[in-house]
């Protein structure tokens, strides 16, 4: 991850959050309390964020995303958790919760011809055959 973006600090996040609350009609008297209740975030945490006293944890960032209907990715950047560059890099790399097959790997690497995919699969399967039994992945 790149170094923290100095343009995204607790103070700038507080300013952004205040603007979001105004846009979502939570700027009037009692709005902060209503927002806390509507978002499921404690009133103390909302108050702390609006004062610029530190940054929220991931659960709070997710609750803000849902309550404000702002993509979590934008909130992560606004909070300084990710830089715009970090976010761009993650957008170009698919996330696979489980292992992918050699065929999927070939396609992600840009190998699309049937002959190329078959050659890639043979290479991967050959490399897997040299691994100890407990290291072999299915696929």
Asked if 57 contacts 13 with a C-beta cutoff of 8 angstroms, the reply is no
pLDDT of residue 94: 64
Q: Is the pTM of this model over 0.85?
A: no
Q: Among candidates 64, 72, 90, which has minimal Cα distance to 1?
A: 90
pLDDT of residue 43: 96
Domain limits for position 87: 10-91
In a domain, 1, yes or no: no
Rounded average pLDDT per 10-residue block, the chain, 139 residues? 62 94 92 95 96 90 94 91 83 68 84 90 88 59
Assess whether 62 and 115 both reside in one domain: no
15-24 CB contacts, 8 Å cutoff, 24+ apart: 15/52, 16/78, 17/49, 17/50, 17/64, 18/50, 20/68, 20/70, 21/50, 24/68
Q: How many domains does the chain have?
A: 2
| CATH number of the domain that residue 77 is part of | 1.10.260.40
pLDDT of residue 42: 96
């Amino acid at each position: 991850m790149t170094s923290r973006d100095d343009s995204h600090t607790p103070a700038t996040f507080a300013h952004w959050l205040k603007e979001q609350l105004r846009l979502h009609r939570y700027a009037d008297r009692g709005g902060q309390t209503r927002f806390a209740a509507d978002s499921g975030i404690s009133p103390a945490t909302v108050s702390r964020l609006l004062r610029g006293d530190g940054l929220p944890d991931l659960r709070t960032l997710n609750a803000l995303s849902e309550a404000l209907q702002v993509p979590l990715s934008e909130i992560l950047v606004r909070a300084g958790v990710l830089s715009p560059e970090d976010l761009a890099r993650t957008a170009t790399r698919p996330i696979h919760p489980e292992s992918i097959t050699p065929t999927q790997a070939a396609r992600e690497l840009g190998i699309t011809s049937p002959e190329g995919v078959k050659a890639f699969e043979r290479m991967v399967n050959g490399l897997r055959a040299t691994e100890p039994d407990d290291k072999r992945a299915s696929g």
